[in-house]
Amino acid sequence: MIELPNDFKEKMKILLKEEYKKFIESYNDPKTQGLRVNTLKIACKDFEKISPFSLKKVSWAEEGFYHEVDKPGKHPYHEAGLYYIQEPSAMAVGALLDPQPGERILDLCAAPGGKSTHIAAKLKGEGLLVSNEVYPARSKILSQNIERLGIKNCIVTNESPARLSKKFKNYFHRILVDAPCSGEGMFRKDPDTCKEWSIDNVSMCAERQLDILEQAQKMLMPEGILVYSTCTFSPEENEGVIEKFIKNYPEFYIEAVKTYDGFAKGRPEWILSDDEDLKKAIRLWPHQLRGEGHFIAVLKKRDGEVAKIKNKKKQIDKKALKDYYDFGKKYLNKIPEGKFIVFGEQLYILPEDTINLENLKVIRPGLHLGTLKKNRFEPSHAFALSLKPEDVKNNIFMDAMSQDIIAYLKGESISFEGKNGWNLVNVDGYSIGWCKIVNNILKNHYPKGLRWVGQI
């Protein structure tokens, strides 16, 4: 049994009344484990055919599955970006945000990337996703997950909401605020979070959440959708924050959304409110469904100013990209084109609709193609993960159960027949990285920081 904070138990007993016993007993159950198929790379039905795990569908997320594997991250399919490990109730957020291809979306508190990668899959490579994380170390993890899933149309920023709101006024069709919270829905998943919980922390989180929402609303266009979510049960951080926000910004209202078995309504009475619209918010409880818990409110903006978009960016002279094009002619069946940008020696393609990014801390300004070195171009790992076998001229195919793929993921050189030069390495037909073949020796280009170590 997890040792829950006494103040938390007393609080939940008062709120839940007759439900409290079932709620507290749910902490005797094992944590709920899930994964979400990355439909940018593989269809759900195709993943089900090759999945090394036993899967069961998550009803509220068409790409989501339950599993009971201890280490789903230690599999070549994970490294190839075929799936993202995500707690099932958290998948409801992306489903209710409901991004549409071609839209501009902001994920304001995005690390480690579960909801951003869900949004990107729903955009189907069309439109723009800005994924932001205020903490530098977490923003790098976010960027790595965007890379692993082969996402091309995402910009990763490391900024405060206030600085972003000055740049992106009335710009986004949809915004997600998955707000930092007291983390009560994490207790079963990560018992150490129990030690950090306190009544005072709940109050502090509620103040911070309202501040974040106030910045977020500046960036939403008229008729846009703002989704607010937390993984806490505290009404101060949920219904309380939403009620205060709507009083401050009456152009917003709570939309009723599709619900599923186990979804519960918001509880206005817990904040002594008579606003019946708060019941349109969604609560996911661990004793009512198979998940750790979440709160979600879908808000719509009635009116406001339309964004004035200035999108002039000087294009790079293609003569400066000669080495990139030489690489493309030699190794690719189709050379990616777009709005190129160079950061130092690093070459990127910006997503469409990207505005001027000057004066922002940008971790990843789009798809990282590679490095422009002296008289040569070296393709990036991100570029490899964005490609399919048919996109390149030279492929190496490995089986997920083979010793070759394990050796590759460990960074080893391998005896392997293939065409000399750059080759795309694929596991069961899905790209996982680059290698160079020299006289039937596979020279490994799997990134050092990602290599598997020890016994697998």
- Cite the active site residues: 231
Establish whether 111 is an annotated binding residue.
Answer: yes
Other beta carbons within 10 angstroms of residue 256's beta carbon come to 10
Read off the tokens for 443.
Answer: 């020279």
List, as own/partner pairs, every contact residues 272-277 make where C-beta atoms lie below 8 angstroms and the sequence separation is at least 24, other chains included. Answer: 273/239, 273/243, 275/243, 275/246, 277/253
Please tell me whether 115 is known to bind a ligand: yes
178 is in an annotated binding site: yes
Contact residues for 18 (Cβ-Cβ < 8 A; gap 6+): none
- On whether 112 is known to bind a ligand per the annotation, the reply is yes
- Percent of the chain that is helix, strand, coil (3-state, to 5): 35, 25, 40
- Asked whether residue 113 is marked as a ligand-binding residue, the answer is yes
Q: Please report which helix (H) or strand (E) contains residue 319, including its range.
A: none
133 is in an annotated binding site: yes
Distance between CA 368 and CA 380 in Å, rounded? 7
Provide the strand spans (E) within 294-394: 294-301, 339-343, 346-350, 362-364, 367-373, 376-379
365 is in an annotated binding site: no
Nearest to 123 by CA among 91, 144, 151, 83: 151
Instruction: Give residue 169's region: left, alpha or beta (phi > 0; psi -120 to 50).
Output: beta
Tokens for 441? 């020796």
Annotated binding site: 109-115, 133, 178
Annotated binding site for S-adenosyl-L-methionine: 109-115, 133, 178
